[in-house]
Structure 1
Amino acid sequence: MAEKRKITLKDIARDLKLSPSTVSRALNGYPSLSEETIQMVKEYAEKHHYTPNTMAVNFRKNRTSILGMIVPQIVHHFFSTTINGALETAKKHGYSILLAQSYDHLKDEILASQYLLGMGVDGLLISVSNETQEADHLQAFLEEGKPVVQFDKITDFLVGPKLVVDDFEGAYQAVAHLIKQGYRKIAHLSGRMEVKNANARFLGYKKALEDHGLTFNEAWVRPCFDISEQEGYDFTKSLMESPNPPDAIFCITDLVALGSMNYLKSSGYQIPTQVGLMGFSNWMLSDFTTPSLSSVDQFGYTMGSKASEMLIDLLKHQDLGGNELVKLPTELVVRKSSVKG
């Protein structure tokens, strides 16, 4: 049996011998029409289960009620929480989100942005890749009057609102905690220095050492390229096998810290009595490692929700925004991996 065709606005107009524009105005309750006409059209539409073609309406209004969102990795715990926050906030405001990932590569980020722009999204949420050192692909949104809100990983190559956590302060508090626990030779498994949030965490680490009278040792800083568990393992191995090994390690993310923990445990080091360990991000896994991992909570859900609110507010006011930078606070979460006593 053939599927029954969905009734259209033109069908209602034909059956009631009215113009399509009159039917449209009646369905929207225009006061210029008689109450009798409005009632007749609405009753007919309800009886025949008429639903408006939302995509067509939005096309005529030059909007889709869809936001684009690009993150480096969808399965990454921090980004999965930002996605969740952005989705739930967008839904409350009548928007949906079309999601893409860059795999932390500029080439894939460009392709994703071109796809989303072609799909007609109203605006873009993006955490840029580690390779992003230009922004022509993002400027294309602004040229079409579509606002862009950057969050977490940002670039100054694009003028527009940016939302980050206070990476400097979070790193500073993490390292200050390690120092207060009695650690004096603190290494840092960092990110790439050209990436703004990684650089801020490095500077927070360095400042905490200086403020507490400890000498900064460049040999104890190892930049991670992929920000991976394997890098955490390999760099910890090289540090601990060096002539002057550290007694604590502050890692750029919890995933890197997990690799560091795996090496230390497999090599017989006692955490935290011999080596203290600190991550950053406060993944769910941090509670379930042995020992549990101290970390810095960067509140991914809150960041995603706030970024979504910022973009929707720009759309509401038909504004592309200025170059404001909003910083959200972090919170030190102390667990067993960094407490000697």
Structure 2
Amino acid sequence: MIEKKKLTLKDIAKELGISVSTASRALKEHPDIAKETIKAVKEYAEAHHYVPNFLAVNFRKSRTFNIGLIVPELVHHFFSTVISGAIDEAKKYGYNVLVSQSNDLLKDEKVACRTMLSSSVDGLLISISNETLEGEHLQDFLSEGKPVVQFDKITDHLNTPKVTVDDFEGAYNAVNHLIKQGYKKIAHIRGRKNVKNANERYEGYLKALKDHHVEITENWVKSCSAISENEGYDFAKEMMESANPPDSFFCITDLVALGVIRYLKEAKYEIPYQIGVMGFSNWKLAEVVSPGLSSVDQHGYDMGIKAMKLLIELIQNQDCENEETIELKTKLVIRDSSLKKDFIK
């Protein structure tokens, strides 16, 4: 005998053309939801014998007012700004934030998650490690009625809300700027091929080159493993000493770009006159390095605020089935490292 699939809030939302959170609030007769919507949702749920998720409906009655936050690195300008935004927002609602780091390792991320669960946090914010693919261990939170919000580095294998930036557009705009400055041989030092935001930045790089009919060369694309300054240095050295060197670099992060700049300065290249450099993240270091590093601002503080606000809303609404995605726009920050046309020799 084939067991009949249980109707979920997601099914109701899809059938009625509304969001999961709207369907959830309609069933609870939330005052912000139109009466017609409440009536439609309730009638559909009753007609199809909808049974609410017990864990979600009986969401923990005694909250700890503690929220878990896991990032790949604590000593990282972008993630530190996310943490600041998240903590500032949490304070408004009387929540404490327990922060941990995964060191970009799956095993450490799993340990951090177990620690957060044993600490009885009410929900979790997480930017997954480079090694995390499907995130099955995060399902443990949802199974206990604790919502999870992913941000920045995410997996689509886990059905949770997500707060991201438009990595594709950010990369496209960065490479477009390099092209407009007159660079024609643009290299890309990218992230791991199994990481979603690294892939989106790579696709943005390719699209900009194709749109402007600029040469695409496989030897000018290198994949980082550790996303480190040393990798930027080593890849820049390898490419610049090749038979066909590039004339500019678009890097997955500012840290990698700093490695590129270190090599170029040691090798006596003039930046940006001979070689242009573009980063991604807009670290504080990008302002003080010489020459100043052009970069893409990810708005980490705003991301932290929005991710925390969304998580607290889920906790308050006892909602573990929301799958909303919030995408922030990036901002191109231009400094001396890429201003070839404005360079005075």
1:68-217 paired onto structure 2 within 5 Å: 68-217=68-217
| 2:10 counterpart residue number | none
Q: Give the residue type in structure 1 aligned to 2:121.
A: V
Q: List alignment gaps of at least 5 residues for structure 2.
A: 1-59
**1:232 touches 1:257 (CA, 8 Å); kept in 2?**
yes
Q: For the residues of structure 2 that align with 1:275 and 1:293, how far apart are their CA atoms?
A: 12
- More displaced stretch, 172-181 vs 322-331: 322-331
Q: Is the 8 A contact 1:166 1:329 kept in 2?
A: yes
Partner SS state of residue 130, structure 1 = coil
Deviations 1:90-145 (Å, cap 9, x if unpaired)?
00111010111000000000000011001100000000000001322100000000
Q: Distance in 2 between matches of 1:323 and 1:61?
A: 23
Does 1:274 find its partner at 2:274?
yes
Unaligned runs of 5+ in 1: 1-59
Higher alpha-carbon Rg: 1
Residue pair 2:257, 2:277 contacting (<8 A) in 1 also: yes
The residue type equivalent to 1:224 in the other structure is C
CA distance in 2, matches of 1:204, 1:326: 19
Counterpart of 2:283 in structure 1: which amino acid?
W
Q: Using the TM superposition, give the Cα deviation of residue 321 of structure 1 relative to its aligned residue in structure 2, in angstroms.
A: 3.8
TM (norm. structure 2) is 0.81
SS in 2 for 1:193: coil
Map residues 27-46 of structure 1 onto 2, 5 A cutoff.
none
Aligned to 1:84, what secondary structure does the other structure show? helix
Task: Give me the CA root mean square deviation.
Answer: 1.2
Letter in 2 for 1:146: K
- 2:72, 2:127 within 8 Å by CA — same for their partners in 1? yes
> 1:302 — aligned with what?
302
1:59-74 matched pairs, under 5 angstroms: 61-74=61-74
| Structure-2 residue corresponding to 1:31 | none
* Residue of structure 1 equivalent to 2:44: none
Kept in 1, the 8 Å contact 2:72–2:101? The answer is: yes
Aligned residue pairs, count = 283
**SS of corresponding position for 1:133:** coil
The alignment partner of 1:277 has SS state of strand
Distance 2:151 2:192 in 1: 18
Asked if residue 236 in structure 1 is aligned to residue 216 in structure 2, the reply is no
Question: How many angstroms apart in 2 are the aligned matches of 1:179 and 1:323?
Answer: 37
Residue-by-residue CA offset, 1:12-32 (whole Å, 9 max, x unaligned): xxxxxxxxxxxxxxxxxxxxx
Report deviation, 1:229. 0.4
- Deviation, structure 1 residue 214: 1.0
Q: What residue number does 1:221 align with?
A: 221
Q: Any idea what SS the aligned residue of 2:259 has? A: helix
Provide, for residues 24-50 of structure 1, a one-character-per-residue CA deviation record: whole Å limited to 9, x for no partner: xxxxxxxxxxxxxxxxxxxxxxxxxxx
State how far apart, in whole Å, the 2-side matches of 1:187 and 1:143 are: 45
* CA contact 1:314–1:321 (8 Å) conserved in 2: no
Residue 322 of structure 1 deviates from its aligned partner by 2.5
C-alpha contact (below 8 Å) 2:183/2:276 kept by paired residues: yes
CA shift for structure 1 position 157? 1.8
- Tell me, in whole angstroms, the C-alpha distance in 1 between the residues paired with 2:332 and 2:244: 28
